[in-house]
Structure 1
Amino acid sequence: MRHRKTLGFAATAALATAVATFSAPSTAAAPGPVVVASGLNNPRQLTFAPGGSLYVAESGIGGDDACGTHPEFGPACVGPSGAIARVGTGGTVTRVVTGLPSLASAADTIGPSDITFTGNHRYAVTVGLGAPPSLRDELGAPGARLAHVLTGDLRSAGLADAFDLAAYETSANPDGTDLDTNPVGLARWGNTFVVADAGANAVVRTNDTTVATLPPVPATGPNAPFPGFAADAVPTDVVRGPDGAWYVSQLVGYPFEKGSSSIWRVVPGSAPMTWATGLTNVTSIDFADDGRLYAVEIAENGLLSGPIGRLARVTPGGSTHATVAGGLFAPYGVATRGSQAWVTTGSVLPGGGQVVRVSLG
């Protein structure tokens, strides 16, 4: 049986308390993060288009088009409030793609999670679900595009269904347990895409291929429900490394233990190998221009302690990793360029999300 593992960060009491207490990223780490955009709705991953513009996937605020019971965060309703936002000079936020499905309750939101570009205007976006495919069926037409990779062009309206992760989970069920799908991280792979499916515990290519399945992680701390409890792997992001291999981050499911997350190196056709260990609740990774990997931990001490996270420089083969920026509230995505990184924060805040810029030193 699967255990709590989707990206339902605000579902715990500790997280709800933290949301009420914190509303902006800390500037504890010198020279400190600089806020470059505000007012985002549950922002997740972000990326630069080939032309240099910065785009953010906003998971939205749900809606009232159809409702059902989500297994992670209870009664939830879907609506077209998900978006892709462009961050302009001076901090302007322009929602260049709107009307994407967003599923929300009082506790959490799932919707658009990651965006990648196949040209300066052509893009693909993942839309999550975090539940069995049957929930999408229950939501009917308003929820039909949950658990998809969608493609479009910023110069025109309209979206195409590039891949249905829920249908693939139903037919393939990569990890062989109960049906659950939550496409989050996304990268281009030739004329296809590769997706980190946090629900399926798998990395999937959009040509009906499972690239890798990550194993469960034994929970050893005092919050483990019973001896031998195995937390789900929960892959969250996938990027191609300078060596051509794929690198995959993981959150690790309940009880979200500190130090239990790894970065995996995946060569298609071979078993995934751990590349770095000792990380905690990683949601995003990116290789900088100098070849070093940076990772966002949404909760440096584990989600049960609240969503105060950091941006870390990953030590290849190591289990300890340098903090680049700490004290960030609910950080989620990272995109690097030159000697700087851009990080989304407030990823569990409707209207309170931000993008901060950090010097990589």
Structure 2
Amino acid sequence: MLAGALTATMLAPAVANAAPMRDRAWVTVVARGLDNPRGVTIGYDGAVVLAEAGRGGRSDRCVDSPEGGKVCLGLSGGITAVSVGRRGAWSQRRIVGGLPSLAGRDGASAVGPHDVSPYGDREYVTALGLGGTPQSRFDLGLAGLMLGQTLIVRSDRNGQSTRSFGDPAAFEGRRDPDRQGVDSNPYSILGTRNGAVAVDAGGNTLLTIGQRGAVSTLAVFPNRMVAGPSGGRVSMQAVPTSVVRGPDGAFYVGQLTGFPFPVGGARVYRVVPGQQPTVVARGFTNIVDIAFDRQGRLLVLEIAKNGLASGDQTGALIRVDRRGNHTELVPGRLTAPGGLAVGADGSLFVTNHSTSAGRGELLRIANV
């Protein structure tokens, strides 16, 4: 009953232009100087834990980028914890560092640790992006082989440790579930009792990863025909970027969309194992993350509210009410946001400037 009620309310007609929220909500910067900060979660001790994709490196391990130019490998990626002390001051610390990161000379738009989630006994699981084929990793040396994988990381008084968990890129290379050519970019991950589920944005898939690292397909997200930039219709890939578990126990997946990145063209899917994905909310633009607040309302984070093709990096955080209406929270305060989490007190944590090296922030949004 809960699943049906939730789906019905989310499928209700949405307001085309999200009404901005202009009440008591306020924004605080609680961490600065981050390198391409992406996914964020709440850690075991209440700290806010986020993935930093890093700033690449200046090594001789460089390859041609699909978007043009050269990108070089470094070990500048990591997992960072941000916590508040007794006197109310926030502090940040790298709990795990030395993870692979691929970026151009300016360090922007890095590929590296894209998301993090609690897993197991005070451990975390992280997804490392790739944006290519598994074979492309071999040109980057030993550290480059970690790209496209999921890792289990741990940090305690005995130091930090990292171990391989699953290899979505290798799975994409063997299976290519969407039959559109091999392309893997693990982007979001969620730890579960039986392992994890992960979104491969390049492969247009939601994957399960067993406790021993075995990868299998949970869902494939289809292409859609949309209006092309020069007229006519073009086939647009889904490009899923986020996965969370909903109040009804199902998985919910947000999509960035592929070219031509239409404004209002992104959707949220509901996934139940063994069933085809169903659309539960629509009318968004370039979704980079989703969450549910303490009242069970859907929260959608857009990396570029006016569309990636516009060149405008203004982001948006949208709340969807029970009738499907969209309300934009803190309008004008987000620039290329990258990740979203809900704190124990209901406040929201958003990574901001997620495609910049050294300029990334973690924001706390309260009274929403």
TM-score, scaled relative to structure 1: 0.87
Deviation at 1:119, TM superposition (A): 4.6
Say yes or no: does 1:52 pair with 2:46.
Answer: yes
Q: Answer whether contact 1:36 1:355 (CA < 8 A) is retained.
A: yes
Query: What SS is found at the alignment partner of 1:110?
Result: coil
Cα pair distance change 1:360/1:174, threshold 3 Å: farther
Query: What SS is found at the alignment partner of 1:115?
Result: strand
1:219-270 deviation per Cα after TM superposition (whole angstroms, max 9, x unaligned): 315x2x5622112101001011111100000100122111000000000100
Q: Answer whether contact 1:38 1:91 (CA < 8 A) is retained.
A: no
Q: Answer whether contact 1:29 1:324 (CA < 8 A) is retained.
A: no
Cα pair distance change 1:35/1:352, threshold 3 Å: same
Say yes or no: does 1:166 pair with 2:169.
Answer: yes
Query: What SS is found at the alignment partner of 1:329?
Result: coil
State the distance in 2 between where 1:115 and 1:170 align. 23
The one of 266, 271, 286 equivalent to 1:261 is 266
Cα pair distance change 1:226/1:317, threshold 3 Å: farther
- Amino acid of the residue matched to residue 172 of structure 1? R
Say yes or no: does 1:70 pair with 2:69.
Answer: no
State the distance in 2 between where 1:99 and 1:226 align. 47
- For structure 1, list consecutive stretches of 5 or more residues without a partner in the other structure: 1-26
State the distance in 1 between where 2:265 and 2:356 align. 26
- Amino acid of the residue matched to residue 270 of structure 1? Q
Say yes or no: does 1:215 pair with 2:222.
Answer: yes
Deviation at 1:30, TM superposition (A): 5.3
- Amino acid of the residue matched to residue 137 of structure 1? F
The one of 286, 289, 293 equivalent to 1:288 is 293
State the distance in 2 between where 1:132 and 1:28 align. 45
Q: C-alpha root-mean-square deviation of aligned residues, in Å?
A: 1.9
The one of 186, 190, 193 equivalent to 2:193 is 190
State the distance in 1 between where 2:82 and 2:29 align. 12
Deviation at 1:196, TM superposition (A): 0.7
Matched pairs, number = 332
State the distance in 1 between where 2:192 and 2:120 align. 13
Query: What SS is found at the alignment partner of 1:204?
Result: strand
1:121-143 deviation per Cα after TM superposition (whole angstroms, max 9, x unaligned): 31111110111222212212130
Query: What SS is found at the alignment partner of 1:140?
Result: helix
State the distance in 1 between where 2:109 and 2:153 align. 27
The one of 307, 316, 325 equivalent to 2:313 is 307
What residue is the counterpart of 2:81 in the other structure?
86
State the distance in 2 between where 1:199 and 1:284 align. 16
Q: Answer whether contact 1:29 1:325 (CA < 8 A) is retained.
A: no
State the distance in 1 between where 2:361 and 2:23 align. 17
TM-score, scaled relative to structure 2: 0.86
* Structure (1 or 2) with the larger CA radius of gyration: 2
Cα pair distance change 1:333/1:138, threshold 3 Å: same
Range with bigger deviation, 159-168 or 100-109: 100-109
- For structure 2, list consecutive stretches of 5 or more residues without a partner in the other structure: 1-20
What residue is the counterpart of 1:10 in the other structure?
none
State the distance in 2 between where 1:135 and 1:29 align. 49
Deviation at 1:74, TM superposition (A): 3.2
- Amino acid of the residue matched to residue 220 of structure 2? T
Say yes or no: does 1:138 pair with 2:139.
Answer: yes
Q: 1:1-361 alignment to 2 at 5 Å?
A: 31-65=25-59, 66-89=61-84, 90-105=89-104, 106=106, 108-119=109-120, 121-155=122-156, 156-206=159-209, 207-220=214-227, 223=229, 227-305=232-310, 306-315=312-321, 318=324, 320-327=325-332, 328-337=334-343, 338-359=345-366, 361=368
Q: Answer whether contact 2:25 2:367 (CA < 8 A) is retained.
A: no
Cα pair distance change 1:211/1:73, threshold 3 Å: farther
